[in-house]
Structure 1
Amino acid sequence: MTQQLSSSGPVDDAADAPAVRWSRAIAVSSLLGLIVLGLAWELWLAPTGNRTLALKVLPLAWPLAGLLKRRMYTYRWVSLLVWLYFAEGVIRATSDRGPSVWLALIEIVLCLSLFAACAIHVRWRLRHPTATTEENRS
């Protein structure tokens, strides 16, 4: 494997592999979907009466930059954070009525796709580590 220098530092070939690009695209789109769904759900589609519940999407906004910059640490902790939203989806799918059930099912699907994409991304990059050069060792 080779490394190329970009304006933001070294970029490895493993990070540009199709599996990594695909998993990154799925992770980012699932995360954006969860943010949009959370806001729309609590503000317009099926508000619970307390619009401050829309603030629950704030923790989802933090990792967006890390996912876009391919930071492994971000992919790892997002795969843990997503289970909180998965649990909310399961609870609301089984306890709510009306449109909230369908919104909760969509949340569950988005959470599962985000987790799977993060897991695939991390696993693939760990199996194909970047090539170290003399510049990176010093």
Structure 2
Amino acid sequence: LHQFDRLQVWELVDKPFGKMVIKLKWLWKNKKDEDQTVIRNKARLVAKGYAQEEGINFEESFAPVACLEVVWIFIAYAAHKSFPIYQMDVKTTFLNGQLKEEVYVAQPDEFVDPDHPEKVYRLRKALYGLK
């Protein structure tokens, strides 16, 4: 949740009248080494986006993946020009995506603001699980 605050993913607001509030859930995963020993526990907070309805909560749905043919052309061109190719992964890149619609999510059950339990979060940026 610290990343959400740091990246300004959401802000706590009064629940707007007539707007659907999407619930959140936690996904838990154990990272293991080659001996299957748990070396790290990971958690991800995701929206239950399956509750969204097209035309009401979102207009279009996109997947941030590259077309395979484009990747082949890129690799062929780089090989032809003798360019080095580097790969990287930005772990929170999805959280930087801007939203086109107003989306409201409930406070996570385990992290409800004790001073404002009736408030919800208005998302400023994309959240895992949204359409």
TM-score, normalisation: structure 1: 0.26
* Greater RCO (Cα-Cα under 8 Å, separation 6 or more): 2
Identify the structure with the greater helix proportion. Answer: 1
TM-score, normalisation: structure 2: 0.27
Identify the structure with the greater strand proportion. Answer: 2
Q: Please identify the structure whose Cα radius of gyration is greater.
A: 2
